[in-house]
Chain A
Amino acid sequence: MIGVGGKIKQYSSVLDKPLSKGRQEVSLSAFAFLFSELVQYNQTQVDNIAELERRLEDAGYAVGARVLELFCHREKGNRRETRLLGILSFVHTTVWKVLFGKVADSLEKGTEHEDEYMISEKELLVNRFISIPKDMGTFNCGAFVAGIVRGVLDNAGFPAVVTAHFVPMEGQQRPRTTILIKFADEVLRREAKLV
């Protein structure tokens, strides 16, 4: 897009364009407004919270699928992670860093189940200006980010169920957001064979 000397080169197809470096930025408020519109629009399309979360997740999934393709090209030199821990740290480090400007606060393995992993963030970017009305219960806009994570994992060949939850923190006013990843059985079976 950015030509030299103010001249823009015309490309016949979007695929002919050089890949952007991803350094361009927009203001946080522009994103916050846009995200609030996404939530508001989807609110008009649904009649319960579960449905709303599902729609936000679907929107995120579409983002995740594209993020994976783009980052594998740009950040990883056309290599894609094939191991469970590799892809998890790709999400936790690379994806988070490019999208949100920082590495996620923590990546943990679930203590009760072998197939569960958690990515936690003290103040998730999308939840930053969001307060949930009392009557909306456990609704979490992080569903959008959960969708991104699911999009990345699914398209990398690691199907999983991904959900976003608020977890109250001691001594903190606002709860942190935990993205819970539960991998499909086949993923764990394959992983066991690979060792």
Chain B
Amino acid sequence: MAPVVPRSGDAVFANVERVNAELFTLTYGAIVRQLLTDLEEVEEVNKQLDQILIISMKQVGFKMFLGVTATVTNWDVEGTTCSLVFEDNPLVEFVELPDTCQGLYYCNILSGVVRGALEMVSMKTEVSWVRDMLHGDDAYELRVKLIKQVPEEYPYKDDE
């Protein structure tokens, strides 16, 4: 039985300060364009985007931050792998991939966000894209795989 997704994100989202999604979208677009110009390789850009928010984003709920709702489905038998599926995505408003960038995972920042957030709660995970609407699929699907639970560690030693 799949765990129930908490709805608390809605309440939080209603209470935080918000900004226009277009400002967010266009700023993100500017970052991707800069990366594409600087790094030239689509593969490298994917890597950077994945890295980008992992440190700053400590706790993130999709609803809380982006105002979209993701559903969690497709749990495997051991309960270590699941999929996050969502259809609305403010990042891709106005976006179409040109022929030269077909290998680009435009939303790769989200996989970094998910990975970073789970790392903060001591779960080492692997996150990969299964479906991407920019590549012609009908939804976005992120596959999240739990690799191991990291035991909690103190960041410093007592005698230091």
Residues of A within 8 A of B (CB): 1-3, 6, 8, 10, 13-14, 20, 22, 24-31, 33-38, 41-42, 45, 55, 58-60, 62-63, 66-67, 70, 98-101, 125, 144
Does A36 contact B56, Cβ atoms closer than 8 Å? yes
Residues of B within 8 A of A (CB): 13, 16-24, 26-31, 33-35, 38, 48, 52-53, 56-57, 60, 64-67, 87-90, 92-96, 138-139
Does A27 contact B56, Cβ atoms closer than 8 Å? no
A104 to B65, CA, bound (A): 25
Does A13 contact B96, Cβ atoms closer than 8 Å? yes
Closest to B34 in A: A59
Instruction: Indicate whether A63 sits within 8 Å of B18 (C-beta atoms), given known contacts A1-B89, A27-B13.
Output: no
Does A25 contact B53, Cβ atoms closer than 8 Å? no
Does B65 contact A26, Cβ atoms closer than 8 Å? yes
- Of B18, B52, B89, which contacts A27 at CB under 8 A? B18
Does A26 contact B67, Cβ atoms closer than 8 Å? yes
Does A98 contact B20, Cβ atoms closer than 8 Å? yes
A8 to B94, CA, bound (A): 16
* B90 shortest CB reach to chain A, Å: 6
- Of A3, A14, A60, which contacts B30 at CB under 8 A? A60
- Chain B residues, Cβ within 8 Å of A60: 30
- Chain B residues, Cβ within 8 Å of A26: 18-19, 21, 24, 65-67, 90
Closest to A147 in B: B30
- Chain A residues, Cβ within 8 Å of B88: 1-2
Instruction: Indicate whether A27 sits within 8 Å of B67 (C-beta atoms), given known contacts A14-B95, A33-B53.
Output: yes
* A90 shortest CB reach to chain B, Å: 16
* B36 shortest CB reach to chain A, Å: 12
Q: What are the 8 A-B residue pairs with the smallest beta carbon separation, nearest first?
A: A24-B21, A25-B18, A30-B65, A59-B30, A28-B17, A14-B96, A63-B26, A33-B56
